[in-house]
């Protein structure tokens, strides 16, 4: 008995494994996160080989490996396909993480609907909701042309049996935290259970050529609950994020063995499920005030995709000794830094001013190319002028007040042009290579001092 039952301590935050209990985790430096879990030696042995299904094969020559042409399956959502790198890959294991209630189950159910409409056999396994609840959700998101299979089960062995029996092309596990294996005696959702289950699904995916989607809940620290161990075991990690109060959702690729990361897909949550937002810039700019001071449109990149967002700033006299600075949707330290640059390089007195900077629409943007728009918004609010309707800005601002070049200037300019903008303020160095852009007034600037001579519409006040 003692021989095949061994206990190990796992950090519940990062999955660090230790033979004895420790107060602080050496992996993630969190305190009091170690929990004792029983691992049978059989399970441990299995884990060591998890992910390598079948007998060991002879090594192959790279040049002799045939590419399969039909390996990508379209999900019916361009936004999702882009994040996946062009569609789902047969036999891949995809983790979809996100806060509870963000729409993971809805998204995957809609994907199941599209796949089954295309004549593919899909199996949706839920450990969180009853068949009736899933049926209700399915009714909300609209008609299912073809039937799909549903199963409410949490026992890993029964799930594996069902998959082997039904042999579907795609399986959704909602969620990985509810799946447990009897032999592993720790609670469902603990590190060893989740790791065990993920290993088993890896074998199912690779061994049977089934695409497996795993839903994973995210803890308040922003990692998929418990385990980063999960992230390295799967092929693709997608995070579904968004403001609870804004209706748009962003699907972000964090890891992808079959495509580029840093791609995003934008969805909007509606009454009848998730809808793709093909043109996020238009969506982000809807409701933008006309001719207001402190409002500047920036062009940021999300992966290979330009997105226009509105940066708002409100600068007003402080009523207390220490000015308040707040940033929503961007980094407060960056805002402080940019305001310091304005004070030092332009002699602008901001020391007695409160400043509030906000990226409208609830989106988060931390790209350095947003700097110029933040600087312009602060300047415009402080000096009470508006930049004019059809102006967009991007560029990085350095500590000496220089405006530095950013990548993919052309894509940004073209996106702005597409949405009807006619003037673009950008780094002077980025002007090379833009000579063939027509219908857009390009204002290349070298330092923040050049901003003072911009012809804005000065307000009376
Ligand atoms: P859900 O997919 O259950 O989230 P998760 O699986 O990530 O926990 O999404 C739940 C939220 O989405 C819930 O607050 C209701 C909302 N919703 C809609 O607004 N419209 C819809 O058609 C559906 C199905 C859900
Ligand atoms: Mg759910």
Atom of ligand 1 nearest to the CA of 141: 22
Per-residue model confidence (pLDDT) at position 303: 75
104 lines ligand 1 (CB under 6 A): yes
Please check whether residues 270 and 298 belong to one and the same domain: no
CATH number of the domain where residue 449 is located: 3.30.230.10
pTM reported for the whole predicted model? 0.76
Please check whether residues 239 and 378 belong to one and the same domain: no
Instruction: Of 407, 402, 335, give the one whose Cα is nearest residue 373.
Output: 335
Count of domains for the chain? 3
Please check whether residues 10 and 89 belong to one and the same domain: no
From the CA of 103, how far away is ligand 1's center (Å)? 5
From the CA of 90, how far away is ligand 1's center (Å)? 27
Ligand nearest to the CA of 100: 1
pLDDT tens digit string along 191-238?
Answer: 888 888 999 999 999 999 999 999 988 766 655 555 466 888 899 999
Please check whether residues 139 and 271 belong to one and the same domain: yes
103 lines ligand 1 (CB under 6 A): yes
CB 394, CB 370: distance < 8 Å = yes
More confident residue, 419 or 460: 419
Please check whether residues 269 and 381 belong to one and the same domain: no
DSSP state of 296: E
Per-residue model confidence (pLDDT) at position 261: 77
Per-residue model confidence (pLDDT) at position 232: 84
From the CA of 249, how far away is ligand 1's center (Å)? 11
Cα separation values, 412 from 321, 405, 426, Å: 41, 13, 10
Least-confidence region, from 8-17, 60-69, 376-385, 413-422: 60-69
Please check whether residues 367 and 243 belong to one and the same domain: no
**Which helix (H) or strand (E) is 36 found in, with range?**
strand 34-40
Q: Is residue 60 part of a domain?
A: no
More confident residue, 259 or 135: 135
Q: Is residue 63 part of a domain?
A: no
What is the residue range of 411's domain? Answer: 283-460
Residues paired with residue 402 on neighbouring β-strands, in sequence order: 447
What whole-number percentage of the chain has pLDDT above 70? 90
335 lines ligand 1 (CB under 6 A): no
Task: Average the pLDDT over 415-431 and give the result.
Answer: 91
Whether the predicted pLDDT of 394 surpasses 70: yes
Whether the predicted pLDDT of 101 surpasses 90: no
Q: Which pLDDT band holds residue 365 (cuts at 50, 70, 90)? A: confident
More confident residue, 458 or 279: 279
On average, the pLDDT of the chain sits at 86
Task: Average the pLDDT over 347-374 and give the result.
Answer: 90
């Amino acid at each position: 008995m003692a021989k095949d039952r061994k206990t190990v301590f796992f950090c519940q935050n990062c999955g660090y494994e230790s033979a004895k209990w420790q107060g602080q985790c050496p992996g993630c430096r969190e305190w009091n996160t170690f929990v004792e879990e029983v691992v049978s030696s059989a399970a441990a042995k299995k884990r060591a080989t998890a992910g390598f299904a079948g007998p060991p094969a002879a090594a192959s020559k790279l040049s002799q490996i045939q590419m399969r042409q039909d390996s990508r399956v379209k999900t019916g959502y361009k936004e999702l396909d882009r994040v996946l790198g062009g569609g789902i890959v047969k036999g891949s294991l995809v983790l979809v993480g996100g806060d509870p209630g963000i729409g993971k189950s809805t998204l995957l159910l809609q994907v199941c609907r599209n796949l089954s409409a295309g004549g593919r056999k899909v199996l949706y396994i839920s450990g969180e909701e009853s068949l009736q609840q899933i049926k209700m959700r399915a009714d909300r998101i609209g008609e299912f042309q073809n039937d799909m299979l549903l199963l409410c089960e949490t026992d890993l062995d029964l799930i594996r049996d069902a998959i082997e029996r039904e042999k579907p092309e795609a399986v959704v596990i909602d969620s990985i935290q509810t799946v447990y294996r009897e032999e592993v005696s720790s609670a469902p959702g603990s590190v060893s259970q989740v790791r065990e289950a993920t290993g088993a699904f890896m074998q199912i995916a690779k061994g049977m050529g089934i695409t497996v989607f795993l839903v994973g809940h995210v803890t308040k620290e922003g990692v998929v609950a418990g385990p980063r161990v999960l992230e390295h075991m799967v092929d693709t990690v997608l995070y579904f994020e968004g403001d609870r109060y804004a209706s748009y959702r962003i699907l972000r690729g964090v890891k992808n063995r079959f495509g580029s990361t840093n791609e995003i897909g934008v969805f909007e949550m509606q009454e009848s499920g998730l809808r793709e937002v093909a043109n996020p810039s238009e969506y982000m700019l809807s409701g933008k005030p006309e001719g207001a001071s402190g409002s500047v449109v920036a062009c940021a990149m999300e992966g290979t995709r330009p997105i226009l967002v509105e940066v708002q700033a409100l600068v007003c006299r402080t009523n207390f000794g220490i000015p308040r600075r707040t940033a929503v949707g961007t980094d407060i330290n960056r805002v402080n830094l940019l305001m310091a640059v304005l004070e030092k390089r332009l002699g602008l007195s901001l020391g007695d001013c409160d400043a509030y900077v906000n990226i409208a629409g609830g989106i988060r943007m931390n790209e350095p190319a947003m700097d110029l728009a933040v600087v312009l918004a602060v300047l415009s609010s402080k000096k009470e002028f508006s930049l004019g309707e059809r102006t967009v800005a991007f560029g990085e601002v350095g500590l000496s007040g220089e405006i530095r070049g950013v990548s993919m200037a052309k894509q940004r300019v073209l996106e702005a042009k597409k949405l009807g903008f006619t003037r673009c303020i950008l780094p002077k160095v980025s002007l090379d290579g833009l000579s063939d852009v027509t219908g857009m007034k390009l204002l290349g600037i070298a330092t923040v001092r050049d901003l003072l001579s911009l012809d804005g519409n000065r307000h009376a006040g």
